[in-house]
């Protein structure tokens, strides 16, 4: 499993979201409070953020634990943004992909993260993977379930689906092919956050017109945090948060 977080709001240093809060993402890498599977998230980490006037985000990712990376501490102190997506990773399967397997994944204006695991991977998604063009399979960012889910989702956006629709269709498709999977996703384009709950926790903190934070778990004890019910699609902007039940595919 993993922990991840997305933020929209006034320009702030990355660290104000990731490390300064009492139970921020950095602390969650070794002491999560709501993680249902796994205990330590030390198999990689990453953050993606948007610079003013540039719709394509920058990223910083590494294969090791976030707490041992001095460059990350400097980066989060001096870099500011109005939107970010970050994650710490507890790898489901051992692999040699290193930082390539660490979220966030990116393409164009998008940043993406998957908190969970596909049951029966990789065999359970062999048929689903076959729906993708060969060139997309050959260009997977890593040999992981998260990278394949990202490819499936990205394919839908390139065919014209809006963010929320692409996510809402991808999760039940994967769940039907691999029952028992945990599929909590986060996707952002710097102005909207789309997330899902499917087997693990997700919370949001929303101050209309000011900031929206969506995360695996609260980064502090503010009573304004709200938990998202399981099997739910969340779509959030600066002004609104919409929760929609996700429907499972039926045979």
- CATH code of the domain covering residue 117: 3.60.20.10
Strand partners, 3: 88
Q: Is 124 domain-assigned?
A: yes
Query: Quick one: pLDDT band at residue 1, thresholds 50, 70, 90?
Result: low
Give the pLDDT confidence score for residue 43 in this predicted structure: 85
Whether 251 has a pLDDT exceeding 60, the answer reads no
Write out the DSSP string of 195-227.
EEESSS--EEEEETTTEEEEESS-SS--TT-EE
Residue pair 187/8 in contact by the 8 Å Cβ criterion: no
Q: Is 168 domain-assigned?
A: yes
Q: Mind listing the pLDDT tens digit for each residue in 93-130?
A: 656 578 899 999 999 999 999 999 999 999 999 999 99
226 lies in which domain range? 2-245
Residue pair 113/185 in contact by the 8 Å Cβ criterion: yes
Q: What average pLDDT does the chain have?
A: 93
Q: Is 170 domain-assigned?
A: yes
Whether 166 has a pLDDT exceeding 70, the answer reads yes
Range 160-168 average pLDDT: 97
Of 236, 162, 240, 171, residue with least CA distance to 199:
171
Give the pLDDT confidence score for residue 108 in this predicted structure: 97
Give the pLDDT confidence score for residue 94 in this predicted structure: 59
- Number of independent structural domains in the chain: 1
Residue pair 115/3 in contact by the 8 Å Cβ criterion: yes
- Of 2, 142, 194, 246, which residue is the catalytic one? 2
- Give the span between the Cα atoms of 7 and 81, in whole angstroms: 9
Q: Is 134 domain-assigned?
A: yes
Residue predicted with more confidence, 205 or 141:
205
Give the pLDDT confidence score for residue 95 in this predicted structure: 62
Q: Is 130 domain-assigned?
A: yes
Range 18-31 average pLDDT: 93
Of 217, 213, 186, residue with least CA distance to 114:
186
Q: Mind listing the pLDDT tens digit for each residue in 32-76?
A: 887 777 777 888 999 999 999 999 999 999 999 999 899 999 999
- The angle at the Cα of 167, spanning 165 to 170, to the nearest 5 degrees, equals 105
Q: Is 27 domain-assigned?
A: yes
Range 159-163 average pLDDT: 97
Q: Which of 14-23, 130-139, 184-193 has the lowest mean pLDDT?
A: 130-139
Q: Is 251 domain-assigned?
A: no
In this prediction the pTM is 0.95
Q: Is 100 domain-assigned?
A: yes
- The angle at the Cα of 128, spanning 127 to 133, to the nearest 5 degrees, equals 100
Residue 242 falls in the annotated catalytic set = no
Work out whether the CA dihedral 229, 126, 135, 48 comes out positive or negative.
Answer: positive
């Amino acid at each position: 499993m993993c922990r991840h977080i997305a933020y929209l709001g006034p320009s702030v240093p990355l660290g104000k979201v990731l490390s300064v809060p009492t139970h921020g993402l950095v602390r969650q890498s070794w002491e999560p409070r709501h993680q249902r599977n796994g205990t330590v998230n030390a198999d990689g980490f990453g953050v993606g953020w948007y610079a003013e006037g540039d719709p394509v985000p920058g990223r910083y990712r590494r294969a090791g634990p976030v707490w041992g990376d001095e460059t990350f501490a400097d980066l989060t102190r001096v870099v500011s943004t109005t939107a970010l997506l970050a994650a710490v990773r507890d790898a489901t399967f051992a692999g040699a992909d290193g930082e390539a397997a660490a979220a966030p994944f990116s393409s164009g204006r998008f940043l993406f993260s998957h908190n969970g695991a596909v049951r029966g991977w990789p065999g359970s998604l062999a048929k689903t993977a076959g729906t993708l063009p060969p060139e997309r399979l050959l260009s997977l960012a890593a040999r992981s379930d998260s990278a394949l889910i990202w490819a499936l989702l990205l394919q839908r956006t390139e065919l014209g689906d809006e963010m929320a629709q692409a996510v809402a269709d991808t999760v039940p498709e994967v769940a039907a092919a691999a029952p028992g999977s945990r599929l909590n996703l986060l996707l952002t384009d710097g102005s909207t956050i789309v997330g899902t709950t499917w087997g693990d926790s997700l919370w949001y903190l929303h101050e209309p017109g000011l900031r929206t934070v969506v995360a695996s778990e609260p980064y502090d004890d503010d009573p304004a945090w709200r938990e998202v019910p399981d099997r739910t699609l969340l779509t959030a902007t600066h002004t609104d948060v919409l929760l929609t039940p996700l429907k499972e595919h039926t045979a």
